[in-house]
Every structure is written in C-alpha cells, then in structure tokens.
Copies of this chain bind each other. A is one copy, B any other.
C-alpha cells in the first residue's frame, strides 16, 4: 500500500516538472524585440552562468571530498565490511547535491529570460508584465518542489533506508549552505558597491548603465535570490520530509501508515501549489501584492481541503492531519506578523523613516529595536505550533508527539511550491526594472515595474517569515530524527531526551548558540571585504575610462571585471563560514558525545531562529523604510532623511540577503551532519 503513495508522489512530481516546462515555454514565447534590452539581458545571463559554473566547480571539489569521506566512514567504517551500505549513502548524498544544483540551474535559466520578457511586457501594461514575472518564478517553484519530492521518493523506494534519506538530505543542504552563502555574498557585494559609488558618491540613479557594477548587481539578484533561495528551500523541504520519514519508519517500519501519510500530504501540497500557480492572475484593477498573497491563501485552502478528504478516504489519523494544519496555519500567521514589521503602511517602517530625519544612527537604533521586537510573534508561533502538534499526536503512542512536530513542519512546507514562486518573482521583476531603466523603455514601463518590484519586496517579507518558521519546525523534527537515529544505531533507547541540567548538554547548548552569530559575522565580513575590492574597481573605471562619468556615447564600462571580482571573492569568502559550522559540530561531538551534540543542536536552533528572524526582518524594514522616504515622505529623495535611510538599507542588505537566510541552511546542515555522524560520536568521545 505504501508503494501506491510513493508512486503517486513520483507521478505528481513529474506532473510538476511538465507544468514547469509548460510555464517555461510560455515565458519564452512572450514577445521581445528591443535590442538594447536583449544585449543587457544577455550580459546578465552570461554573468550568472559564469558564476554558477565557477561555483559548481568549487562545490564539486568540496562535495567530492565529503562524498569520499562518507563512503569511507558512513554508516560504519568501510573496513567493517558492509560496503554496499556505504555505497548507498554515498550515492544518495551525490544525488542530493546533484538535484540541488540542477534546481539552481533551472531557476537561473528561466529567471534570466523572464526578466527580459517582464521588462518588455511592461510597455503593454501591468497585467502581462505581472504574468511573465510570476510564471517565470513559478518555473523555479515547480522545479524545486518536484525535484525534492522526486528525490525523496526515489531514494526511499530504492533503498528503504533512513540513513540513506538523511544522506540525500545532507547532500541537498551541504550544497545549499554554500550556494546560499556564496550567492548571498555575491549579490550583496555587487548591490552595496553599486549603491555606494553610484547613488551615494555620484548621485546617479539605481540601475544607471554607466555604473560598472550595475550588471553584477542584476546578476546577483539571480545567483543570490533565485539560485541560492531555491537551493535553500529545496534543502528545507527535503529535510522536513526526511525527518518525518525517519521517525515514521522508527515508529512502524517502512510500510506503515505513517510513511503513507508523509508522502500523501507532501504530494497534495505540491498538487495544491500547481493549482494555485495555475489559477494565479491579477484583476484589471488588482494590485500585484494582492494577487500574490491571494494565490498563497488559495493554495493553503486547497491543501487543507484535500488532506481532509485524503484523511477521510484512507482512514489516516485525524490528529496527524490536525498537526499538519496547525503547522500550515501558524506559518501563515507568522508571515502576516512579519509583514507588520516590514510593511510601509505600518508603524515600524514609518517610525524608522521618521527617525532617519535625526541621522543614520537613529535609523539603525530603531531598525535594530524593531528587528528585535519582531522575533517575538514568530518565536511564540513556532513554540505554540510545536507544542500543539506534539500534544495533538501524543495520545497516538510513544514518540508520536515528535512525529506530530515533523508533520507540522511538513504541513508548513506543503505550500512551498507557491512560496518559492512568489519568492523568485521578486528578483525577476527587480531585474526587469533594471532592464527598463537601462533600455530606456519609458516612464510608464518604469512605473509598472516599480510597482511590481515593490509588491515583490512586500511578499518577500511574508515568504521569509514563512520559510524561517518552517525551518524552525523542521530542525526541531530533525532533533527528533537525531535522537531516533542514535537509539536505532545503539540498538537500545540510550537517549530518552536532552536534559539541560546535564552539564554536557548545557556545554553543547552554549557553544551551539554562539555558532549562528559567528557564522553570520564571517559572511558579513566577507561581503565587506569583497565590496571594498569592488568599490576600488568601480573607482578605477570611472577614473580611467574617458567619458564614462559624463555618459558619452561609446564610453562603455567594463561590466565583466566587476562580475569577476564578485565571483572570485564570493567563492573565497564562503569557505571559512561553512567550514566553521561543520568543524565545530564535529569538535563538540568528539568532546561531549551525542548528548553534547543534542544540546548543541538545541542552542543552534534557538539562537539561529532568533538571529535569522532579527536580521531578515530588520533588513526588510530598512529596505522599505528607504523606499517610503523615496516615495516623498520625511523629505523625500535627496533629503538628509533619505541619506540616513540609505545607510539603513545598506546595513540591512547583508542582514537580510546574506546572513539571515543562510542561517536556516546552516542549522539544517549541522542537524543532518549530527545525525549522520551519530554512530561515530557514540563510539568516540571524551565525556
């Protein structure tokens, strides 16, 4: 019977791929004629592909080394003779990295076409322009979720081995760690440098083609926000499914109803997203924000109804259905409260804009304060959904409580296809805006893409809150999976929990809590060093290329040099942060054993959620605060308040697009690593 659900999942994944292909063709067929736009678009596409290629070469080396280590040591050292087991995990790991890389590549492919189409469609009106942007993003959404379900289902079907599932998930997230971090460093290096020299020093507009960093900036949107974000959510989705399946199998074997419900709900989530994407459109008078949010709500409703029916038909446990619905609804609530802190019609953004009149220090102090405040509803939301899901499922039997939490995470992530579509929409229309500006497509088109872009920013806040919430629940579930793995490996229930009064657990807890802070710091310092290099290059070009600054015909900036700097620097700077997270996990395991690792994961989750929420929300707030001033408030463009708001926005850039979202991935990687290495920590540790 469980095969029916696994195979259905595979079928729906393939439908999603087919739908993605249809969307891709649709976008490709949209008219485009402007040569200037085409040539700039080509520059962006080339730059993005160059970065991706270089990044994948670096990552291939890294994953190659990891894969060999996995082959030698996991699940048990190879000299113990079970070479087939090692080979299984080795292949599963590589499959995870491969699918993740593929999803990123597909995203870039369509995004760098959709941006051109969206820009040109803006000349005809907001409706066609919106649709190009949205459907371009949806290709990514469908591809990512299709790939993650397909991968999980195939690995499960072929191996029936939970360690292989964890290996697959670790492959996805170890790639995501570097893709998100590398892309995040690239995009903010370019963005900050372009703004610093262009807007601040020279006072030329955003996306001015004279600016040598402008193409790099647009490339950054694609490699950071499209490919990086896709890898990140691919990773979260796979991890939530893997955690749920590990526990489902531990509860009742590979063919239990628990396994069925995981696949069934995941497949329904994807189906709901397909319908949501397919029906999304904007009314004639409608605004894009409304259209995007509406499709999210529709998807949510479809998921709830369909899973209700499935539970009825297949006689699943209602309590598990309840846990999934709680997860999803809390996700929506977190999204809405996040919106409060980053929406320019609300108090926080307006207060920060007003505070900017007193200078940049006040922009920062207020933004940090509201960022700190913003963590409360999300933390409480995650806490309540975990508690509710646990208590709902606890009566089903021992260990069902933790399984309930994992199903809440699956529920929250069920509509991830829709979330990614909305998320990828943002950088596409942002790029389109740049193309309209650089291609001189006219004021109306600029206004249209401006309004599409602004909707992207607003929706981004909601989806980010959503994905951090989902990551929170997922890693709690992974903690359960970790314990489950340890006990399975040890052959007895040696760990019943992690008692914080146990000094070894507490030791892990404190160290784990410091990790997301250090990880963020390393990434941001990387952005900074890299931006310094790029600013120097921009200055050089403005000095050495005659006529560039005046915008004379024929005076062409050397865009590729800026792209090269961002690429090389990003790849160089992402290594220390990623290695730090991995090495410290292993160290804690060797020092304190599995108990210390349990504490370490908890500390990591708690401080990771706190910092990720803080940085994402304050970053979004500063961004919208600046836009609020630019739209004529508090003195408008060029006023002292505007200058201060720009400082806030610049600080917020690495917060929200480099460090904040990378923390999600860091937590997941560390959690999966801990599960995979549990046998080794059991055997070798000081305490």
Contacts and interface: CB of A to CB of B under 8 A. Distances in A.
Interface of A: 192, 196, 200, 355, 358-362, 364-366, 368-373, 375-376, 379-380, 382-384, 386-387, 390-391, 401-402, 405, 476, 479-480, 483, 496-511, 513-514, 517-518, 520-522, 524-525, 527-528, 531-532, 535, 592, 598-599, 602-603, 606-607, 609-610, 614, 646-647, 650-651, 654, 687
Contacts of A527: 365
Contacts of A370: 521, 525
Contact of A607 (B380, B535, B610): B610
Contacts of A598: 500
Contacts of A401: 503
B375 A517 contact: yes
A633 to B, nearest CB: 17
Contact of A387 (B384, B500, B503): B503
A503 B361 contact: no
Given A368-B521, A517-B614, A610-B610, 19 more contacts: A196-B358, A361-B651, A370-B525, A372-B518, A373-B517, A373-B521, A375-B514, A379-B513, A379-B514, A380-B514, A383-B507, A479-B500, A480-B501, A496-B499, A496-B501, A498-B501, A500-B602, A510-B609, A513-B607
Contact of A506 (B386, B483, B610, B650): B386
A22 to B, nearest CB: 42
A531 B375 CA distance: 25
A398 to B, nearest CB: 12
A361 B500 contact: no
A57 to B, nearest CB: 28
A372 B501 contact: no
19 contacts: A359-B647, A361-B650, A361-B651, A365-B524, A365-B528, A372-B517, A372-B518, A384-B507, A386-B507, A386-B510, A387-B504, A387-B592, A479-B501, A483-B501, A497-B499, A497-B500, A499-B500, A500-B599, A500-B602
Top 6 closest pairs, chain A to chain B, by CB: A497-B499, A361-B650, A390-B503, A372-B521, A383-B510, A497-B501
Given A402-B501, A606-B607, A654 B507 contact: no
A364 B646 CA distance: 13
A646 B499 CA distance: 46
A142 B73 CA distance: 59
A525 B373 CA distance: 10
Given A379-B513, A513-B379, A387 B507 contact: yes
Given A499-B499, A607-B607, A610-B517, A506 B361 contact: no
Given A373-B521, A650-B361, A510 B479 contact: no
Contact of A510 (B359, B382, B500, B603): B382
Contact of A518 (B360, B365, B375, B513): B375
B365 A503 contact: no
Contacts of A513: 379, 606-607, 609-610
B379 A511 contact: yes
Contacts of A479: 500-501
Given A607-B606, A651-B361, A369 B506 contact: no
Given A500-B498, A518-B376, A511 B369 contact: no
Nearest to A483: B501
A598 to B, nearest CB: 7
Contacts of A535: 358
